[in-house]
């Protein structure tokens, strides 16, 4: 029996990974946080096929109980238990507002999982994937960034993720745990959370086209990101845990665009011709045909420390895993706007 346990199963990546594992015949378990309102909308279409448990990465007792429940249930019939740690306080801007909570979940939460794996009697059948992030590179020391590029985190989120990255390697080397990091660059989809910039843009463009919204308020539109699709990236996660030995990999498209370019492509898709005027906080984007303002800039959406350029090099993953991406940025924008 192959079993997958996903923290953050109700999120964008967790929902796509659940679908992938189910198609491959896995028993899929998931840890989701208790909420007074429903947070399972991304997995409702498959929820009857999942084994869900309430839990939190701040609670080592519940993590251990869930892990023990799974290994006790399958026992010696267990071929492999793949643990995908996708749970996180994942919003970079918000991490400046709640840095202690972010550090506990995104940093120490990884340690709690690894400790539970280390102490499980079936630890030799457990494989662990840690969701690392391109935000580790921060003030990038090289362009493009590879597995060997030095890290320079620029937010509480990135600093917490850096701890998670290194504690994963530490437990791999100290306790012979199958544990690896996927250093994933930005990946999007229609299931992206509403507060993330790509979803904010594509939703805003849809609303403007339908006359439901006047304009979109943005922060730094000149930062550049390497954007892929979450479907492509969760397949890469799975590939990492199918190898004989645990190795860390970068997943990216190798192409980057500014947020401003993402905005332009989004408006272009709905046949609105956006033009720009002004500088800095006074810059606006407007509809060339009507003169109507489409984009305004507000300083409250700027980070205290910006990450200007992220561009990944996935040569290692492509050569060793056989991984490749299928979606380009225009395909991602089309799907996000149409869905």
CA angle at 292 for the pair 286 and 298, rounded to the nearest 5°: 60
DSSP string, 245-301: S---EEE--S--EEHHHHHHHHHHHTT--EEEE--GGG-EEEETTT--EEEEE-GGG
Rounded to the nearest 10°, the torsion over CA 229, 183, 226, 317 is -80
Residue tagged active-site, from 27, 82, 135, 188:
135
Sheet holding 284-287, edge to edge: 216-218, 293-297, 284-287, 274-277
74 catalytically annotated? no
Is 84 one of the catalytic residues?
no
| Catalytic residue list contains 198 | no
> For residue 185, what are its two tokens?
């660059």
Catalytic residue, chosen from 137, 157, 235, 286, is: 157
Distances (CA, A) of 182 to 202, 292, 337: 27, 43, 28
24-46: b or e for each residue (b if 16 or more CB lie within 10 Å)? eebbbbbbbeeeeeeeeebbeee
Q: How far is CA 259 from the centre of its chain?
A: 18
Q: Which of 7, 10, 71, 133 is labelled catalytic?
A: 133
The single-letter DSSP state of residue 307 is: -
Active-site annotation, residues? 133, 135, 157
């Amino acid at each position: 029996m192959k079993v997958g346990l996903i923290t953050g199963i109700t999120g964008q990546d967790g929902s796509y990974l659940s679908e992938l594992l189910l198609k491959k015949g896995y028993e899929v378990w998931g840890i989701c946080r208790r909420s007074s309102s429903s947070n399972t909308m991304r997995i409702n279409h498959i929820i009857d096929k999942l084994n869900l448990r309430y839990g939190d990465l701040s609670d080592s007792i519940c993590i251990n109980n869930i892990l023990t429940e799974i290994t006790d249930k399958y026992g010696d019939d267990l071929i492999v238990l793949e643990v995908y740690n996708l749970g996180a306080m994942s919003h970079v801007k918000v991490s400046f507002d709640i840095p202690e909570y972010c550090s506990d979940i995104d940093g120490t939460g990884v340690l709690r999982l690894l400790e539970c794996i280390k102490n499980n009697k079936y630890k030799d059948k457990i494989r662990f994937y840690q969701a690392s992030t391109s935000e580790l590179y921060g003030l990038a020391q090289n362009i493009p960034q590879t597995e060997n590029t030095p890290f320079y985190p620029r937010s509480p989120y990135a600093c917490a993720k850096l701890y998670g990255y290194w504690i994963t390697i530490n437990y791999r080397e100290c306790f012979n745990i199958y544990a690896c990091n996927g250093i994933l660059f930005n990946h999007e989809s229609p299931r992206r959370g509403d507060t993330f910039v790509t979803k904010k843009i594509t939703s805003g463009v849809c609303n403007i086209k339908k006359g439901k919204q006047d304009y979109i308020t943005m922060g730094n539109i000149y930062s550049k990101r390497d954007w892929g699709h979450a479907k492509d990236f969760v397949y890469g996660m799975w590939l990492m845990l199918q190898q004989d030995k645990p190795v860390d990999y970068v997943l990216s498209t190798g192409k980057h665009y500014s947020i401003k370019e993402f905005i332009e492509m989004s408006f272009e898709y709905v046949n609105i011709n956006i033009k720009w005027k002004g500088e800095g906080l006074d810059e606006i984007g407007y509809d060339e045909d009507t003169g109507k303002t489409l984009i305004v800039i507000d300083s409250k959406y700027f980070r205290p420390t910006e990450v200007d350029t992220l561009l990944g090099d996935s040569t290692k993953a492509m050569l060793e895993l056989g991984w490749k991406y299928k979606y380009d940025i225009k395909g991602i924008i089309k799907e996000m706007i149409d869905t």
